Structure 1
């Protein structure tokens, strides 16, 4: 997708892996990048999305569902989840446009990511937009524990997946009571959501710290994202899990 500001920016994608604690590829997070034609300028994705008109945002969503369709066989054959992040304006378009919504929901491997900054998330099941979205898609709460919201949306079983905020994980890991606090946190979340992913595994020490913690997924700089043409490389079990 080409976006024209003072400079023309083109969208491209990076595939960020999420692995099970045993090293099987669990999910791919589809990361969008906006860069100038000469690749010398990169514009933050969040900033670009905030500047898009509704028509441009619709084109962007269509581009993502087309990408999913082009790779549907790969995701289905390998039983891998595709995580796509959405903000409030994108959610509104998905709920308003039945054709767009159907184009997304026909791919059952697509899960939608919502960050803790999503408006009125703390209202839980009283947030009608959130409840409506859950009727069509499996939802994942990103940055859980970043301090933006309360536990209500988790208590209300609105999310099939919860991804622990990496800064919270680092803070807990560096604390002297990590082996007590971390399992306790996981147990409490598991009462309402059985699928927990921990972000921030950027070193072997962080990886080793989670060996005895019962979680469903891990992600971090230990396993960098790849171009879509290299998706097959992510199916190989990383050395950390050997």
Structure 2
């Protein structure tokens, strides 16, 4: 399947970059227009109706699939952030589950607000998701998730909250968190990396990759021109 010529103007690819400067992949996010709220895209999407959020997910899945060659040929991963309602929709839709299994570079991100993370809650939806697609845990360190959850569930990568990183950059607390998380996942990704000083703080730390404003996002056309 070859990339289509559509530009998908409403979406951008945020780079996820290894410590060595190599692209691990991208997070596909909905672009927030200038007339919308200035809060981050995941928070803004939380305020949208469930049906619209599901349509956005379908758009993201379509974009992921039509760019198959870009991700396969470059060995990139592509993460898509989902909420509980989208997760339930996926588990109830056999066609989507098969698609996620077929396009093996797609990853689903769930954040700390996922209801099944609450104490005593069953995790049937989470387990159903992980059966068809590797999961990433987003926003770790913001206060609603802990090491117990990480020990109990299998996450491929764990993203440290940018707020936690900004508060603890260059401290032993950040390094200890990274060391505690690493045995239970394939690696830690630090979000919120915005300048060379942040890079210096992370030098020597045992992380898999970084994400943040230091790297300009790609639009669809730029992705194709750069990597196809």
- TM-score range (shorter-chain normalised) is 0.7 to 0.9
CA 158–126 in structure 1, closer or farther in 2 if over 3 Å, else same: farther
1:122 Cα offset (Å) = 4.0
Aligned twin of 2:158 = 162
Where does structure 2 lack aligned partners over 5 or more consecutive residues? 1-7
1:141 is paired with a residue whose SS is: strand
Where does structure 1 lack aligned partners over 5 or more consecutive residues? 1-9, 236-242
TM-score w.r.t. structure 2 length? Answer: 0.85
1:218 Cα offset (Å) = 0.7
Aligned twin of 2:137 = 141
Aligned twin of 1:205 = 197
Q: Are 2:85 and 1:93 equivalent residues in the alignment? A: no
TM-score w.r.t. structure 1 length? Answer: 0.80
1:31 is paired with a residue whose SS is: strand
| Distance in 2 separating the partners of 1:59 and 1:42 | 19
1:224 Cα offset (Å) = 2.2
CA 12–155 in structure 1, closer or farther in 2 if over 3 Å, else same: same
Query: Structure 1 stretch 112-121 or stretch 223-232: which is displaced more?
Result: 223-232
1:51 Cα offset (Å) = 3.5
Aligned twin of 1:115 = 111
Q: Are 2:53 and 1:41 equivalent residues in the alignment? A: no
Aligned twin of 2:49 = 52
Aligned twin of 1:182 = 174
| Distance in 2 separating the partners of 1:97 and 1:223 | 35
Q: Which has the larger radius of gyration?
A: 1
Aligned twin of 1:13 = 11
Q: Which has the higher strand share?
A: 1
Q: Deviations over 1:179-200 (max 9, x none)?
A: x333322211112123100111
| Distance in 2 separating the partners of 1:66 and 1:137 | 16
CA contact (8 A) 2:158 2:185 kept: yes
**Which structure is richer in relative contact order (CA contacts within 8 A, separation 6 or more)?**
2
Structural RMSD (CA): 2.4
Aligned length: 217
